[in-house]
Amino acid sequence: MTEYPCSRYHIHYSRQPTERILLISASNVLDTPFELGVYSFVENTPDPETGRSLTPTERMSNLLETMELADQVGLDVFALGEHHRPEFLSSAPAVILAAAAARTQRIRLSSAVTVLSSDDPVRVFQDFATLDLISQGRAEVMAGRGSFIESFPLFGYDLKDYNELFSENLGLLLALNEAEKITWSGKHRAPLNNLGVYPRPHQEKLPVWVAVGGTPESVVRAASLGLPMALAIIGGMPEQFAPFVQYYRETAGEAGHDPDQLPISVNSHGFIADDSKQAADDYWPGYQHIMGKIGRERGWRGTSRAQYDASIGLRGADFIGNPDEIIEKILFQHNFFSHQRLLLQLGVGTIAHSKVLRAIELLGTQVAPVVREEIRRRNVIREIAG
Amino acid sequence: MTEYPCSRYHIHYSRQPTERILLISASNVLDTPFELGVYSFVENTPDPETGRSLTPTERMSNLLETMELADQVGLDVFALGEHHRPEFLSSAPAVILAAAAARTQRIRLSSAVTVLSSDDPVRVFQDFATLDLISQGRAEVMAGRGSFIESFPLFGYDLKDYNELFSENLGLLLALNEAEKITWSGKHRAPLNNLGVYPRPHQEKLPVWVAVGGTPESVVRAASLGLPMALAIIGGMPEQFAPFVQYYRETAGEAGHDPDQLPISVNSHGFIADDSKQAADDYWPGYQHIMGKIGRERGWRGTSRAQYDASIGLRGADFIGNPDEIIEKILFQHNFFSHQRLLLQLGVGTIAHSKVLRAIELLGTQVAPVVREEIRRRNVIREIAG
């Protein structure tokens, strides 16, 4: 494999070689297999079919089972979000990911996202470096500003500093990644005067992704820093995000980074069943429950079943269907994104555990092999043409 | 089993019944088996025998193996400390404990200690509530002011507020334990205005212990709040701490708490080998290395081998010896403490992994059964004597 000069914040997988996880840093993103994964906020709302709610302990146990299965069926990533609301159990993603690390072998363990604006980058670094040691190099941080705002009053931050806090905290997190002892000062946190932060991770650096929701400013930030970008597409027509991706790659290039070394992830809602209509019917009640409840708080218009059905179509945002439909949609989007990763939130609201397990099995065993092979073929052609 | 009125911050084990872990809350501490456990700061210094250092990843893997073994041999508690120094890997105890939770069945998982003065009680509560869900009710928090000071500049706190920060943060942690939504304000953290903190733990409340080093003020705080107390005895003559224990129980009683519902733990250095001299020789080099290194920074007088050998004797602080000697020393101390738990730090500095595993095996299989049975017998007599 060709040795490439590494970008400053490259994705460093070198100590965890597996068949699937290759050296992004040693080559470029075209040489790496397409990655498929799952993310969750660990929702715990009543099961729409039974009306029954699980205890938080049962829900956590089920979650860990899904993470273990995702590893077993060869998925590449399991990521956990951060919410501070009673409907969700994941306010401390690194703690749950550590439990999953102890029960899995190869799957990468990420946040999606760490709400970095309202957290202390030193604690975040320590948590994920610890996770990285436990998982022997499978940790990553996906940093975002967060689309929910509960964490701001809870941790004493002002929403007017939303953007500035994110910039400053991301800068500190990256600085902690660069050197064991650092001297740093900022506006929103106590300065560090030649202090060390421990433990150091297993990987040379923690992979840090930036999650963006489509704000051009966020895209510029990720690109300028040479950080991989996760694009949350949970509504509208995904093809309309293509200019953002193009903009990201151009801006990265202008900032002196090699766009071919910067992977892009699409993060979307999704659900997979053997039967197409079953998938749609399984996903809808929990989705409607959560979107209605949170939507009311936020003054959203409700989502109708007709809108939902439209979002399931090839050009809609949601990956809901049978394996063939999911494969088609991934490949359709790959035409205009040329992305490297897809993460699906399998359930905005509660879906029966057995169905979630089946969705993971289908994603790993029926969707992933076909998608990886087809995208590998496309990339070979692109490199030959290139 | 008799139903007793619960104390305000009782130790609630009821959803995790095992042969050994009985309902402290349902009765009093005299009815509960004596608990034995281990704590560690996850030191990672050169092996005195080989001169070789493990990688942090190897050290973490070894740690998890010791935690798993501790569970298998029936020890009651594994606790992790918090340090922010290059010699130690445990700066995020809850993350490591979560990995252990996934690999163990019955052992309780605690911090020893969470440096609460320099942490955010909301994050601490979230981390340990999450751990509690993962472990199905085996989490506890041992809160302390910390005898190391690295965390203060790192997290932007002033050492002059050392005590006030601890009081305020402990108050908030207990308040979070009491109610899902709280309104709170203090001097060192943003106020909470009818905000909820999630997830909620599996246990009715997270058990919160207070670790004290022998400061009467700390003893009064633990007693007044009706919190179980862990007494760190890592030097001097343990019997000189007996008045503190007496003072704790009296003060708790005066504050309206039932001392019989408040367990006391002794936390000390220790090491066990089949042969008495071997235990002393195995423990000494790493101990000398760490105590010398940290001691120099702090201006301590060095520890001589003669002083160390004295600390091993029956009336010394260190539990180092063969199983019979450890049993004797525990029972000797029980004469004046009537305590309910002993936690041993098996290695201040590095000791070969195989020897640590053997120490845990001996503690679980040879020391614990004899100690539990003898103390059970004593407690029966004490209750009859009334």
pLDDT tier at B22, thresholds 50, 70, 90: very low
Note whether B183 contacts A: Cβ–Cβ < 8 A. Answer: no
Whole-number pLDDT of residue B27: 55
pLDDT tens-digit map of A157-177: 999 999 999 999 999 999 999
To 10 degrees, the CA torsion angle through A378, A248, A110, A119?
A: 180
Checking if the pLDDT of A149 tops 80, the result is yes
Phi/psi at B72 (5° precision): -65, -35
To 10 degrees, the CA torsion angle through A188, A194, A195, A198?
A: 110
Nearest chain B residue (CA) to A63 = B134
8 Å CB contact between A35 and A340: yes
Q: Residue A113 falls within a domain, yes or no?
A: yes
Smallest CA-to-CA distance from A329 within A2, A36, A39 is with A36
Q: How far is A237 from chain B (nearest CA, A)?
A: 34
- Mutate: best of A14, A42, A57, partner B, most B CBs <10 A: A57
8 Å CB contact between B367 and B331: no
Give the 3-state DSSP-derived string for chain B, with helices as H, strands as E and coil as C: CCCCCCCCCCCCCCCCCCCCCCCCCCCCHHHCCCEEEEEECCECCCCCCCCCCCCHHHHHHHHHHHHHHHHHCCCCEEEECCCCCCCECCCCHHHHHHHHHHHCCCCEEEECCEEHHHCCHHHHHHHHHHHHHHCCCCEEEEEECCCCCCHHHHHCCCHHHHHHHHHHHHHHHHHHHHCCEEEECCCCCCCEEEEECCCCCCCCCCCEEEEECCCHHHHHHHHHHCCCEEEECCCCCHHHHHHHHHHHHHHHHHCCCCHHHCCEEEEEEEEECCCHHHHHHHHHHHHHHHHHHHHHHHCCCCCCHHHHHHHHCCCCCCEEECHHHHHHHHHHHHHHHCCCEEEEECCCCCCCHHHHHHHHHHHHHHHHHHHHHHHHHHHHHHHHHC
Residue-wise burial string across A109-136, b where 16 or more C-beta atoms lie within 10 A, e elsewhere: bbbbbbbbbbbbbbbbbbbbbbbbbbbb
Query: Quick check: bond before B210 cis, omega within 30?
Result: no
Of A59, A96, A199, the CB nearest to B56: A199
User: What average pLDDT does chain A have?
Assistant: 91
Of A56, A133, A198, the CB nearest to B133: A56
What pTM does this model have?
0.93
Whole-number pLDDT of residue A90: 98
pLDDT tens-digit map of B352-386: 999 999 999 999 999 999 999 999 999 998 888 87
Residues of chain A in contact with residue B122, where contact means CB-CB under 8 angstroms, are 154-155
- Mutate: best of A83, A130, A132, partner B, most B CBs <10 A: A130
- Asked if A153 and B96 come within 8 Å (Cβ–Cβ), the reply is no
Greater pLDDT, A312 or A214: A312
The percent of residues above 90 in pLDDT, for chain A, comes to 81
Checking if the pLDDT of B290 tops 90, the result is no
Q: How far apart are CA A13 and CA A204, in angstroms?
A: 9
- Residue A352 to residues A9, A363, B77, B133, B138, Cα–Cα distance (Å): 39, 17, 35, 20, 27
Q: How far is B151 from chain A (nearest CA, A)?
A: 10
Note whether B81 contacts A: Cβ–Cβ < 8 A. Answer: no
- Asked if A60 and B134 come within 8 Å (Cβ–Cβ), the reply is yes
User: Given its phi and psi angles, is residue A280 left (phi above 0), alpha (psi -120 to 50 degrees) or beta?
Assistant: alpha
Q: Residue A10 falls within a domain, yes or no?
A: no
Q: Residue B115 falls within a domain, yes or no?
A: yes
Nearest chain A residue (CA) to B181 = A86
Whole-number pLDDT of residue B159: 92
Q: Which 3 state secondary structure label does DSSP give A144?
A: strand
Note whether B120 contacts A: Cβ–Cβ < 8 A. Answer: yes
Note whether A200 contacts B: Cβ–Cβ < 8 A. Answer: yes
Note whether A179 contacts B: Cβ–Cβ < 8 A. Answer: no
Of A60, A103, A189, the CB nearest to B133: A60
- Asked if A99 and B134 come within 8 Å (Cβ–Cβ), the reply is yes
Note whether B181 contacts A: Cβ–Cβ < 8 A. Answer: no
Residues of chain A in contact with residue B195, where contact means CB-CB under 8 angstroms, are 153-154
Q: How far apart are CA A344 and CA A342, in angstroms?
A: 7
Q: How far apart are CA B374 and CA B376, in angstroms?
A: 5
Checking if the pLDDT of B16 tops 60, the result is no
- The radius of gyration computed from the CA coordinates of chain B, to the nearest angstrom, equals 20
Note whether A192 contacts B: Cβ–Cβ < 8 A. Answer: yes
Q: Which two tokens stand for residue A5?
A: 């000069």
Domain CATH for B369 = 3.20.20.30
- Asked if A198 and B84 come within 8 Å (Cβ–Cβ), the reply is yes
Q: Residue B340 falls within a domain, yes or no?
A: yes
Q: Which two tokens stand for residue B324?
A: 């019979």
Note whether A126 contacts B: Cβ–Cβ < 8 A. Answer: yes
Residues of chain A in contact with residue B102, where contact means CB-CB under 8 angstroms, are 64, 98-103
pLDDT tens-digit map of A328-374: 999 999 999 999 999 999 988 999 999 999 999 999 999 999 999 99
Mean pLDDT of B209-232: 95
Q: What does chain A come to in residues?
A: 386
User: What average pLDDT does chain B have?
Assistant: 91
Nearest chain A residue (CA) to B135 = A57
pLDDT tens-digit map of B86-135: 999 999 999 999 999 999 999 999 999 999 999 999 999 999 999 999 99
Q: Residue B71 falls within a domain, yes or no?
A: yes
Note whether A88 contacts B: Cβ–Cβ < 8 A. Answer: yes
- A&B contacts, CB < 8 Å: 155
- For residue B246, give every residue at least 6 positions away whose Cβ sits within 8 Å of its Cβ, in sequence order, or none: none
Greater pLDDT, A157 or A289: A157
Q: How far apart are CA A61 and CA A42, in angstroms?
A: 11
Q: Write down the ipTM of this complex.
A: 0.93
Note whether A229 contacts B: Cβ–Cβ < 8 A. Answer: no
Q: Residue B95 falls within a domain, yes or no?
A: yes
- Asked if B95 and A130 come within 8 Å (Cβ–Cβ), the reply is yes
Whole-number pLDDT of residue A27: 56
Of A99, A154, A189, the CB nearest to B122: A154
Q: Residue B12 falls within a domain, yes or no?
A: no
Nearest chain B residue (CA) to A134 = B60
- Residue B338 to residues A265, B242, B259, B378, B379, Cα–Cα distance (Å): 59, 9, 12, 10, 9
Residues of chain B in contact with residue A157, where contact means CB-CB under 8 angstroms, are 190
8 Å CB contact between A69 and A360: yes
> For chain B, what is the domain count?
1
Residues of chain B in contact with residue A61, where contact means CB-CB under 8 angstroms, are 136
Nearest chain B residue (CA) to A152 = B190
Q: Distance between terminal CA atoms of chain A?
A: 18
Q: Residue B25 falls within a domain, yes or no?
A: no
Q: How far is A89 from chain B (nearest CA, A)?
A: 5
Burial of B357 (0-12, 13-18, 19+ CB in 10 A): middle
Of A59, A130, A189, the CB nearest to B156: A189
8 Å CB contact between B51 and B82: no
Q: How far apart are CA B155 and CA A192, in angstroms?
A: 9
Residues of chain B in contact with residue A199, where contact means CB-CB under 8 angstroms, are 56, 89, 91
Nearest chain A residue (CA) to B202 = A57
Expressed as residue numbers, the domain containing B176 is: 30-385
Nearest chain A residue (CA) to B84 = A198
Displacement of CA B352 from its chain's centroid (Å): 23
